[in-house]
C-alpha cells in the first residue's frame, strides 16, 4: 500500500466537494466514507501519482482543492465505476473525479484528450482521428472483401454503411479502421453468425467520446446527439455501443 504523504499547499476550503454534493442525488453519499479501502483495492488507478480513490476522497473532504485540480491522477481514473460497486456506502467517486476535471480550465486539460475531443467536434463522424468518409468506407469494403475471399464460410458477411431500417446501429472506435482494421472483423463475424441486421452510419460512426473523459458536457452531448441522430435517421431501433 502506497503511503506517500499528502502535502498541503494553500489555504484549506471545502468549496469543491460541497459544490459536487449539491449536484448529486443525496449528495452522492460523499460524506459516508468508512475509510475501509475497498475502493482502492480494485481500482486500476491505485498507486499512480501516489493516489488512490480513498485518498482522493480524503483530499476532497479535507478541502485540498488546489492539490486535487493540479494532480495528474484525476486524469488517470478510467471512470470504470468499480469503486462504486465495491463500496459499502456506494460512494460516487468517479462523479467526483469528473467534476474535478471540469473545474480545470479547458486549455489546461491533458493535450491528448483535448486534441482528440476537438478533432471529433470538427467532423460529422465524431472521429477523434479525423478519418474521412471515403477512407472509412474504403477500409471497411477492403477488409470485408479480404475476409469474404479468404474465409468462404463468411462469403456472405456484410458490413454496411447507412443501411436504412437496420435493427442495430453499430459504432466503432475510429482508431481501428486507421491503425488496426482487422480488429473490426470479429464483431462483424459475431453479428453475421447471429443473423443480426446492422449498419454503420456515414455520420456518427465513431464510438469513442474523448469529450466525456475531458468532462466537457456540452461537447460530449453534441457528439452523442450527432450519432444518435444518424441512428434515428436510418430508422435503427437499437444503438450498439462498442466503447
Scanning residues 18 to 47, which ones bind ligand SF4 (CB under 6 A)? 33-39, 43-45
Nearer to ligand SF4, 96 or 184 (CB): 96
Count the alpha carbons within 13 Å of 98 in the hemisphere toward its beta carbon. 21
Distance of closest approach, residue 126 Cβ to ligand SF4, in angstroms: 24
Nearer to ligand SF4, 73 or 200 (CB): 73
With CB under 6 A, what is the number of residues at the site for ligand SF4?
28
79 lines the binding site for ligand SF4 (CB under 6 A): yes
82 lines the binding site for ligand SF4 (CB under 6 A): yes
One of 91, 117, 140, 143 touching ligand SF4 (CB under 6 A):
91
179 lines the binding site for ligand SF4 (CB under 6 A): no
61 lines the binding site for ligand SF4 (CB under 6 A): no
Nearer to ligand SF4, 48 or 139 (CB): 48
207 lines the binding site for ligand SF4 (CB under 6 A): no
Distance of closest approach, residue 29 Cβ to ligand SF4, in angstroms: 8
Which residues are near ligand SF4 by CB under 6 A?
A: 33-39, 43-45, 53-54, 57, 77-83, 86-89, 91, 93-94, 97
Amino acid at each position: 500500500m502506497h503511503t506517500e504523504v499528502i502535502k498541503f499547499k494553500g489555504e484549506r476550503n471545502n468549496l469543491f466537494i460541497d459544490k459536487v454534493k449539491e449536484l448529486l442525488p443525496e449528495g452522492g453519499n460523499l460524506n459516508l466514507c468508512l475509510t475501509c479501502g475497498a475502493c482502492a483495492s480494485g481500482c486500476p488507478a491505485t498507486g499512480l501519482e501516489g493516489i488512490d480513490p480513498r485518498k482522493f476522497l480524503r483530499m476532497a473532504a479535507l478541502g485540498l482543492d488546489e492539490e486535487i485540480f493540479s494532480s495528474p491522477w484525476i486524469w488517470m481514473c478510467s471512470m470504470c465505476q468499480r469503486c462504486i460497486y465495491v463500496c459499502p456506502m456506494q460512494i460516487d467517486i468517479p462523479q467526483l473525479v469528473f467534476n474535478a476535471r471540469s473545474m480545470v480550465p479547458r486549455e489546461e486539460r491533458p493535450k491528448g484528450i483535448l486534441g482528440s475531443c476537438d478533432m471529433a467536434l470538427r467532423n460529422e463522424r465524431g472521429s477523434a482521428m479525423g478519418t474521412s468518409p471515403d477512407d472509412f468506407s474504403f477500409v471497411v469494403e477492403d477488409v470485408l472483401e479480404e475476409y469474404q475471399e479468404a474465409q468462404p464460410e463468411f462469403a456472405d458477411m456484410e458490413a454496411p454503411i447507412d443501411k436504412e431500417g437496420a435493427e442495430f446501429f453499430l459504432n466503432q472506435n475510429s482508431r481501428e479502421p486507421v491503425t488496426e482494421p482487422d480488429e473490426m472483423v470479429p464483431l462483424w463475424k459475431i453479428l453475421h453468425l447471429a443473423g443480426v441486421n446492422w449498419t454503420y452510419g456515414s455520420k456518427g460512426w465513431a464510438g469513442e467520446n474523448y469529450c466525456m473523459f475531458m468532462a466537457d458536457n456540452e461537447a460530449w452531448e453534441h457528439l452523442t446527439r450527432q450519432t444518435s441522430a444518424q441512428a434515428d435517421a436510418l430508422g435503427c431501433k437499437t444503438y450498439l455501443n462498442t466503447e
